[in-house]
A and B are shown apart, each in its own frame.
Chain A
Amino acid sequence: DQQVKQNSPSLSVQEGRISILNCDYTNSMFDYFLWYKKYPAEGPTFLISISSIKDKNEDGRFTVFLNKSAKHLSLHIVPSQPGDSAVYFCAASAWSTNAGKSTFGDGTTLTVKP
């Protein structure tokens, strides 16, 4: 039973356009969500997070939206740049049940074409 799902294994967008990466979760106890970016042969790096008390968090070109009723979050990258090409992982945690340990999705590979 996969509790965090990223249903699109890959996404390709043109440089300068918007990239939208999606993530769905099933565990209603999840209350904190994070996005990580991973380049080949490197470890993941933290990108942005959102608490369940918010529905939007913005950091420069990156915005995360949370829809609790739909158990869905999305990461928007505007404008997309070739350097954004990477694998993006969504992660979720539930402080009350597992001390905040994160559960990761399988990732979406983003390719930004020049």
Chain B
Amino acid sequence: NAGVTQTPKFQVLKTGQSMTLQCAQDMNHNSMYWYRQDPGMGLRLIYYSASEGTTDKGEVPNGYNVSRLNKREFSLRLESAAPSQTSVYFCASSSSGRDEQYFGPGTRLTVT
């Protein structure tokens, strides 16, 4: 089992460009999450999907959109990237909202 996979691992964007971060899990989990981690800070929840077909805003949703394509895949889209979105992005999944989460390896995004 691969667990949670994320692509790409690294990305550099210019201000105003758009991109989609991909995430997939093979553990048949219902819940999936997108977090960002800035230096010296914890994980801040961007968006959350409790089950296929549902999404919910987290703590810092502005500037992002998500799609729960199916049970396995949960993508994060930046429509118009800004330097403030420079961060490391983690996708995670769990059996339910209550259970421990399994994280992907992260995507390091730099917006210049």
Is B61 in the interface zone, CB < 8 Å from A? no
Q: Is the CB of B41 within 8 A of A99?
A: no
Q: Is the CB of A101 within 8 A of B58?
A: yes
Is A34 in the interface zone, CB < 8 Å from B? yes
Tell which of A32, A45, A100 has the most Cβ of chain B within 10 Å.
A100
In the complex, chain A residues whose CB is within 8 Å of the CB of B64 = none
Chain B residues with a Cβ closer than 8 Å to the other chain, count:
25
Selected contact of A42 from candidates B40, B48, B106, CB within 8 Å: B106
Count: A-B pairs, CB below 8 Å: 58
Bound Cα distance from A98 to B98, whole angstroms: 10
- Size class of A's contact patch? 20 to 34
Bound Cα distance from A110 to B66, whole angstroms: 34
Q: Given contacts A42-B105, A43-B90, are A106 and B42 in contact (CB under 8 A)?
A: yes
B91-112 vs A: 1/0 string, CB under 8 Å? 0100011111111111000000
Is B76 in the interface zone, CB < 8 Å from A? no
Q: Which of B39-57 contact A (CB under 8 A)?
A: 40-45, 48, 50
Tell which of A34, A42, A43 has the most Cβ of chain B within 10 Å.
A43
Quote the shortest CB–CB distance from B66 to chain A (angstroms).
Answer: 14
Is B21 in the interface zone, CB < 8 Å from A? no
Closest to A105 in B: B42
In the complex, chain B residues whose CB is within 8 Å of the CB of A36 = 101, 103
16 pairs, CB–CB < 8 Å, chain A vs chain B: A4-B42, A9-B40, A41-B106, A42-B106, A43-B4, A44-B90, A44-B101, A44-B103, A45-B103, A46-B100, A89-B42, A95-B98, A100-B98, A100-B99, A101-B33, A104-B35
